[in-house]
Amino acid sequence: MSIYTKIYDILPKLLSKRSKISPKSTTFIYDDEIWFDDYFTLKHIDKTTIAIGEPRYWQRNYSYLIIGDTQALLFDSGIGIQDISAVVQALTDLPIIHMISHYHYDHIGNIDKFKTIYLSQNQLLLQQNVLDNTIYPSLKSTLRILEGQPSKQIKFSKVLENQQFINLGNRQLQSLYSPGHHSESISLYDPQRRQLFVGDFLMKGTLYIKFLPLSDYSEFKWATFNLLNNTQSGTTIYTAHPFELAHELNNPYYTGGITFADHLELSYKDLIDINMFINQHPSSNSMSKKMVINDHLNIVF
């Protein structure tokens, strides 16, 4: 039995027992986050950079709307239980480019709601049936079977190389390959505002660079260098999940006091700490281990 068969066999059974959506009345959100409607939340990082949250969904995904003068870009589109395009349209009239950090089902859920989709070259290498710029990402890429999400067709209009810039009008975003959690991952960097959006490449708490198909420690090492080489000191890193920390909000006695940044933001210093850790631990042997990187980052590799 292959490792994938095992994951596909066991995980759906475990996950199906979990209630995926909590009632709004018992869902706590961050002090600096507001409800948009009954399902989505908004956190304004600045006037034209907005994190769109799904706190009622158990993985508490965040997608990022990055607005320029002539175009806006939505990075990830959530689980797809609710239509995120309605939120985006309420926030901007500009044409939308949609990009995804990686193909996992909780990041591509609304990809079919957007007309202009850019992919990165490393998001096409493992995909087949590329016909008329259309793909159906593989099960191994999406893991959609874990929560029974439907297969999504992706019709893309542009393919970006590593380090290629997208001009949103007075705002440049650089696409950077960032494999590790998932070999088809990218990050987006705004050099002027020093904002780096990383999807699941990094998260606060424990980084699992093992177990999932397409996760790989040597690729993670390469990506860490790629991000460090293209970003500057003072950069803030925006992640997509507060996984391990979410228990603080999921406590019925929670009375507030936690901000979005407490759970979702990392710093350039964290990237340097990870890089130093990798230099000291160049390879992962067959036994997985959990080690401390700094006071808010651990790694399983």
Report the interface residues with Zn ion, using CB under 5 A: 106, 200
d(CA 30, CA 104) in angstroms, rounded, equals 25
CB of 157 to Zn ion, least distance (A): 24
CB of 241 to Zn ion, least distance (A): 6
Write phi, then psi, for 114 (nearest 5 degrees): -120, 140
CB of 262 to Zn ion, least distance (A): 19
Q: Are strands 34-35 and 41-46 parallel, antiparallel or unpaired?
A: antiparallel
Question: Is 270 strand, coil or helix?
Answer: helix
200/219 with CB nearer Zn ion:
200
Question: Is 33 strand, coil or helix?
Answer: coil
147/200 with CB nearer Zn ion:
200
DSSP per-residue string spanning 284-300 = --SS--EEEEETTEEEE
67/119 with CB nearer Zn ion:
119
96/143 with CB nearer Zn ion:
143
Q: Are strands 236-239 and 195-199 parallel, antiparallel or unpaired?
A: parallel
d(CA 212, CA 216) in angstroms, rounded, equals 9
106/184 with CB nearer Zn ion:
106
Q: How far is CA 284 from the centre of its chain?
A: 24
CB of 24 to Zn ion, least distance (A): 22
CB of 77 to Zn ion, least distance (A): 12
Taking a C-beta distance cutoff of 8 angstroms, is the pair 189, 162 a contact?
Answer: no
99/168 with CB nearer Zn ion:
99
* Adjacency order of strands within the sheet including 290-294: 205-208, 297-300, 290-294
d(CA 288, CA 209) in angstroms, rounded, equals 9
User: Within 10 A of 218 (CB to CB), how many other CB atoms are there?
Assistant: 14
CB of 203 to Zn ion, least distance (A): 9
Taking a C-beta distance cutoff of 8 angstroms, is the pair 187, 197 a contact?
Answer: yes
Report the chain's terminal Cα–Cα distance, integer Å: 22
CB of 285 to Zn ion, least distance (A): 27
20/269 with CB nearer Zn ion:
20
CB of 200 to Zn ion, least distance (A): 4
User: Within 10 A of 27 (CB to CB), how many other CB atoms are there?
Assistant: 17
Lookup: tokens for 106: 């909780």
Q: How far is CA 144 from the centre of its chain?
A: 15
76/270 with CB nearer Zn ion:
76
